[in-house]
Structure 1
Amino acid sequence: MTKKKVGIIFGGKSAEHEVSLQSAKNIVEAIDKDKYDVMLIGIDKQGKWHLNDQSSYLLNAENPKLIQLNKSNENVAIVPGENDHQLINKASAQNLEQLDVVFPIVHGTLGEDGSLQGMLRIANLPFVGPSVLSSSICMDKEIAKRLLEAAGINVAKGFAFTRAKKDRIVYEDIVAHLGTPMFIKPANQGSSVGVSKVSTKEEFEVGIAAAFQYDHKVIIEESVVGREIECSVLGNDEPIASLPGEILPNTEFYSYESKYIDEKGAELAIPAELPGELVKNVQQVAVNAFTALQCEGLARVDFFLTETGDIYVNEVNTLPGFTRISMYPKLWEVSGISYPELIDRLIELAIERHENDRMLKSAVWGEE
């Protein structure tokens, strides 16, 4: 059997750089080495692409607080417009081995927002996960919420303000509509980066300033009291949902540290203790949200479940974490899909979508 060549692109310039390193490590360890040859491409915090060796691509690999990309002396450039050998070694100008598919596990800005997906599409490389449109939609929480609402899916009430409209953010007016406590978030970030839970005017002003450090648009949302439920979705045209899981934070809310660094920051109930009918409802809403936002391949849908059984979608994460404490792969394991099999399916879905795209005409007349 001929092995497929899989390029794992990881790291990146975003605030979630270290999370991406952990995700890549777990994918490399879980991928079936009898089926796939792996090419590792690490993006440093300055945006430079490094061709890495599996034996030495990470420093402090077992410590989430100290983990680092081990920068190589071999840098990678991408050549658009080619049908093969789209990647070259920058120093030698030699073609790198042709990739069959790319697993772009770059979380956050410039990796999860459609930017990297657009580059890979221009380079004619199949890649895991949603394409450009759904990636960019889901990254912008305001736009995603508008589309979810239009599809009849419950979301928290809130407001969005750009930096240019910052002077219109009046604490008293916001409290009158949303009450306290409330959440302040950068519109285009993930993993709780820059998120604050606030109850006073002083906390509000600090939270607004913190959110604007990460984005030019912030969202202010009501606090929905409920259980934190997550559901993994897998598929292209006919997506399926995993059993739901529950986050039981040991801190005030599920912060970046709780998700990726402090294994004691939260307990994970996998699967969540829910009645069978409610499990089906959560799964259906997860698939509906996935479809409404035109996702493909994979996504993790995060919910709030109220005491009255109302289901609110908090966000849809198109490149969820694959760390050792991440919900996405854990939920599929408990649903009957092992980590290696999950990677197989994601690669198959990426190639399936790419083949479907190739059937589309790209010119009205003349050569294509």
Structure 2
Amino acid sequence: MASEHPIVGIVCGGPSPEADVSRLSAARIIKPLSKIFAAVQLELDQYLPEQLIKNSIDVVFPVAHGPMGEDGSLQGLLDIMGIPYVGSSVLGSACAMDKSVTKRILQHSGIPVAKDVLVCEWENIDDSVQRCIDSLGTNLIIKPADLGSGIGVQFINNIDELRDGLESGLECHPKLLVEERIYGREITAGVLDTGQITALPVIEITTPDGAWYDYVHRYTPGLSQHTIPARIPDIQYKRVQDIALKAHNLLECRDLSRSDFIVPEVGQPIIAEVNNLPGMTPTSLFPDGAKAAGIEFEDLLKRLVLHAFKRGNRLQERLQRWTLPTLAV
């Protein structure tokens, strides 16, 4: 019976630049999941609804990162089809995926973020450059507003680099987030929310050559080191965990999330972004945090799947509780 042995659909790929990363996550989780459940790997494409039905999928474990996979699009499809899934709802996914929206929500609740300017493709480039200079100066970072994995990130040191960076960035993406550059340790903290919400041990990220933690360093074994617990003062460590928990709740994330920070030598940790669907690749951070909390990878996956599956049943029951009068038509 499905209630005892749900069939799990692992959804990966799709049109996002992060599709290859998502397939790495899928390849890592399908073997341990197959020890517990029947598991099928599916591609995020136009045939997905048909494949979900054909394979009698009871619950989905999405690992499709980036647009269409973790921005609420896939989640909306699954909601319409009545298939429960691991991770945040449509609203939580959409809010967490857009860095600008994330920052406005967190900033409104007093969580420290870097100052920023949002630049859109329809704006005059001269006006955009001047707005960034006036608000932030020239020591900046440019990021696509809704991509992860370090894709499209540029470091800016002067006005010429800013103009070039905006022009090249807007050729690939319609909306860019320009931020003041904050210096400090790169820190991350996961949140596991499968019954009792818990902040996982805080991780410090370093690279052997002192390089930035870019796409290659994130996903190439040996090119980054995850130090647990992070080497920061206790007061900052606790603050990172507190902010990660608060961000998870404010953005209405479910099941799991991971918040990334820059922690300066003194002062408040600065939250950079919230990942509502953290990666599960061999070099991913969230499984490392769970393991440091005493949760082995197979147990982590099992918890996430069963929690999502049971929640799906409860949601269906809740929708049927409303009793309305019959309308004459």
- TM-score, normalised via structure 1 length: 0.82
Contact 2:72 2:91 in 1 (8 A): yes
Alignment-mate amino acid for residue 133 of structure 1: L
Over 3 Å counting, the alpha-carbon distance change for 1:210 and 1:346 in structure 2 is farther
Q: Where do 4+ consecutive residues of structure 1 move more than 6 Å? A: none
1:327 equivalent to 2:279? Answer: no
2:313 equivalent to 1:348: no
Q: Secondary structure at the match of 2:309?
A: helix
Corresponding residue to 2:9 among 7, 10, 16: 7
Q: Which of 215-224 and 272-281 deviates more?
A: 272-281
Equivalence map 1:175-324=2 (5 Å): 175-235=133-193, 238-249=196-207, 250=209, 252-260=211-219, 262-324=220-282
Alignment match of 1:20 (pick from 13, 19, 22): 22
SS of 1:229's partner is strand
Give the CA deviation at 1:200: 2.2
**Change in CA separation of 1:237 and 1:151 when aligned onto 2, cut-off 3 Å:** farther
Report the 3-state secondary structure (helix = DSSP H, G, I; strand = E; otherwise coil) of the residue aligned with 1:164: coil
In structure 2, how many angstroms separate the alpha carbons of the residues matched to 1:155 and 1:187?
A: 15
| Structure 1 residue 350, shift from structure 2 partner | 1.1
- The superposition leaves residues 125-182 of structure 1 with CA deviations (integer Å, 9 ceiling, x where unpaired) of 0000001001011111111100000111011101102211243544354234323320
Distance in 1, Cα, partners of 2:93 & 2:73: 9
1:87 has 2:52 as partner? yes
Give the direction of change, closer, same or farther, for the CA distance of 1:162–1:237 in structure 2 (3 Å limit). farther
Shift in CA distance, 352/215, structure 1 to aligned 2, threshold 3 Å: farther
Go from structure 1 to structure 2 and tell me whether the alpha carbon gap of 1:366 and 1:102 turns closer, same or farther (over 3 Å shift): farther
2:141–2:155 contact (8 Å) kept in structure 1:
yes
Are 1:5 and 1:37, in contact at CA under 8 Å, matched by a contact in 2? yes
Aligned AA for 1:271? P
Deviation at 1:236, TM superposition (A): 5.7
Moved more, 251-260 or 19-28: 251-260
Report SS of the residue matched to 2:318. coil
RMSD: 2.1
- Aligned pairs for 1:28-177 (under 5 A) are 28-31=30-33, 33=35, 35-43=36-44, 47-49=45-47, 76-78=48-50, 87-88=52-53, 96-167=54-125, 169-177=127-135
> Which string of whole-angstrom CA distances, capped at 9 and with x for unpartnered residues, describes residues 211-249 of structure 1?
223432111000011111101111167421100101113
Q: Give the whole-Å Cα distance in 1 for the aligned partners of 2:196 and 2:168.
A: 40
How many corresponding residue pairs? 322
Q: Percent identity at matched positions?
A: 35
Q: Quote the offset at 1:28 in angstroms.
A: 1.2
Verify the 8 A CA contact 2:142 2:155 in the aligned structure 1.
yes
Deviations along 1:305-345, one digit per CA (max 9) or x if unpaired, are 11113111100011111110110111111111110111011
1:238–1:211 distance in 2 versus 1, CA, 3 Å: farther
2:119–2:128 contact (8 Å) kept in structure 1: no
Distance in 2 (alpha carbons) for counterparts of 1:132 and 1:149? 21
Residue type matched to 1:28 in 2?
I
Preserved CA contact (<8 Å) 1:271 1:331: no
Q: Which has the higher helix share?
A: 2
Secondary structure at the counterpart of residue 69 of structure 2: coil
1:124: how far off? 0.2
- Gaps spanning 5+ residues in structure 2: where? none
User: Is 1:365 matched with 2:325?
Assistant: yes
Rate the CA distance shift 1:206–1:349 in 2: closer, same or farther, 3 A.
Answer: farther
Q: TM-score, normalised by structure 2?
A: 0.91
Q: CA deviation at 1:193?
A: 1.1
Query: Is the contact made by 2:257 and 2:278 (CA closer than 8 Å) also made in structure 1?
Result: yes
Are the aligned partners of 1:194 and 1:210 in contact in 2 as well (CA < 8 Å)?
A: no
Cα pair 2:236 2:269 within 8 Å, conserved:
no
Measured in 1, the distance between the counterparts of 2:93 and 2:325 equals 31
Separation in 2, partners of 1:168, 1:116:
37
